[in-house]
Amino acid sequence: MPGTLRRTRSILDFALASLLRRKGRNAALLGVYTLVVFVAASLVFFTQAVKREAHQVLADAPGLVVQRTLAGRQDLVPLAWADWVRGLRGVRSVRPRWWGYYYDGAFGANFTVQASEDAALPAGSARIGAGAARILRVKEGDLITLRGHDNLPLLLTVQGILSSDSELVASDLLLLPREDFQTLFGLPPDQATDLAVDVANPRELPTLAAKIAERYPEARPILHSEILRTYDAIFDWRGGLLVAVLMIAVLCFAIFAWDRAAGLSAEERREIGILKSIGWETSDVLLLKLLEGLAVSLTAFLSGCVLAYGHVFLFSAPLFEGALKGWSVLYPRYRLVPVVDGYQLSLLFLLAVVPYTAATLIPGWRAATVDPDAAMRS
Partner 1 sequence: MGRRGRWHGGLAAAILALPLAAGQAPSAREKCPVCGMFVAKYPDWMAVLRFKDGSALAFDGPKDLFTAYLDLKRYAPGRSPADVAAIEVKDYYSLRVVDGFRAVFVIGSDVAGPMGRELVPFAEAGDAAAFLKDHRGRRSLRFGEVTAAVLRSLP
Q: Quick one: 49 or 208, whose CB is closer to partner 1?
A: 208
x-or-dash pattern for partner 1, window 69-108, by CB under 8 A?
--------------------xx-x----------------
| Residue of 80, 152, 200, 374 interacting with partner 1 (CB under 8 A) | 200
Q: Quick one: 201 or 277, whose CB is closer to partner 1?
A: 201
User: Residue 134, SS3?
Assistant: helix
User: How large is the angle between the packed helices 354-369 and 266-277, nearest 10 degrees?
Assistant: 60
Q: Quick one: 142 or 198, whose CB is closer to partner 1?
A: 198
Q: 206-210: which pairs have CB atoms within 8 A and are 24 or more residues apart?
A: 207/90, 208/64, 208/85, 208/88, 208/90, 208/91, 209/64
Q: Quick one: 91 or 370, whose CB is closer to partner 1?
A: 91
- 232 binding partner 1? (CB under 8 A): no
- Cα 275 to Cα 15, 22, 262, 343: the distances in Å are 12, 18, 19, 41
| Residue of 56, 201, 225, 283 interacting with partner 1 (CB under 8 A) | 201
Q: CA-to-CA distance for 32 and 26, rounded, in angstroms? A: 10
Scanning residues 28 to 67, which ones bind partner 1 (CB under 8 A)? none
- 224 binding partner 1? (CB under 8 A): no
Q: Quick one: 150 or 214, whose CB is closer to partner 1?
A: 214
Q: CA-to-CA distance for 12 and 270, rounded, in angstroms? A: 20
Least distance to partner 1, CB of residue 85, Å: 14
Number of residues that bind partner 1 (CB under 8 A): 9
Is residue 224 a contact partner of residue 58, using CB atoms and an 8 Å limit? Answer: yes
Give just the sign of the alpha carbon dihedral 81, 86, 87, 89.
positive
Is residue 172 a contact partner of residue 332, using CB atoms and an 8 Å limit? Answer: yes
- 223 binding partner 1? (CB under 8 A): no
Least distance to partner 1, CB of residue 243, Å: 36
Applying CB under 8 A, the span of 126-134, 195-203, 245-253, 309-317 interacting with partner 1 comes to 195-203
Q: Quick one: 30 or 223, whose CB is closer to partner 1?
A: 223
- 139 binding partner 1? (CB under 8 A): no
- 124 binding partner 1? (CB under 8 A): no
Q: CA-to-CA distance for 146 and 111, rounded, in angstroms? A: 11
Closest CA to 332 of 180, 128, 157, 159: 128
Binding site for partner 1 (CB under 8 A): 89-90, 92, 200-201, 203-204, 207, 211
